[in-house]
Amino acid sequence: MTAARLEVSGLSAGYGQTRVLEDVSFEAEAGARLAVLGRNGVGKSTLLATIAGQTRRHAGAIKLGDIDIAGMDGASRAWQGLGYVPQERCIFPSLTVEENLFVGLKDRERSAVDEAYAMFPRLKERRRNYGNQLSGGEQQMLTTARTILGRPSILMLDEPLEGLAPVICEELMAALTRLASGGDMTILLVEQRIRAALDFADQVLILERGRIAWSGTPAALRASPQTVEGLLGVAAIPHSAA
Ligand SMILES: Nc1ncnc2c1ncn2[C@@H]1O[C@H](COP(=O)(O)OP(=O)(O)OP(=O)(O)O)[C@@H](O)[C@H]1O
Q: Looking at this protein, which amino acid is placed at residue 21?
A: L
CB distance 108 to 57 below 8 Å: no
Q: Is 41 in the pocket of ligand 1 (CB under 6 A)?
A: yes
Cα separation of 188 and 186, whole Å?
A: 7
Three state DSSP letters for 58-80: EEEEEEECCEECCCCCHHHHHHC
Q: Is 42 in the pocket of ligand 1 (CB under 6 A)?
A: yes
* Residues of the chain predicted below pLDDT 70: 238-242
Nearest CA to ligand 1 atom 3: 15
CB distance 125 to 168 below 8 Å: no
Task: Supply the pTM of this predicted model.
Answer: 0.93
Which atom of ligand 1 sits closest to the CA of residue 159? Answer: 27
ipTM entry:
0.97
Torsion of CA 54, 203, 36, 22, to 10 degrees: -70
Nearest CA to ligand 1 atom 9: 46
Going from N- to C-terminal start, the domains of the chain cover 6-90+153-232
Q: How far is the CA of 199 from the centre of ligand 1 (A)?
A: 25
Pocket test for ligand 1, best of 17, 18, 20, 190 (most atoms within 8 A of CB): 20
Pick 6-90+153-232's CATH classification: 3.30.565.10, 3.40.50.300, 1.20.1250.20, 3.40.640.10.
Answer: 3.40.50.300
CB distance 182 to 175 below 8 Å: no
Cα separation of 146 and 104, whole Å?
A: 5
Cα separation of 189 and 49, whole Å?
A: 12
CB distance 187 to 33 below 8 Å: yes
Pocket test for ligand 1, best of 12, 17, 39, 44 (most atoms within 8 A of CB): 44
pLDDT attached to residue 107 = 81
Q: How far is the CA of 16 from the centre of ligand 1 (A)?
A: 13
For residue 110, what is the DSSP state? G
CB distance 56 to 211 below 8 Å: no
CB distance 27 to 4 below 8 Å: no
Pairing relation of β-strands 203-208 and 211-216?
Answer: antiparallel
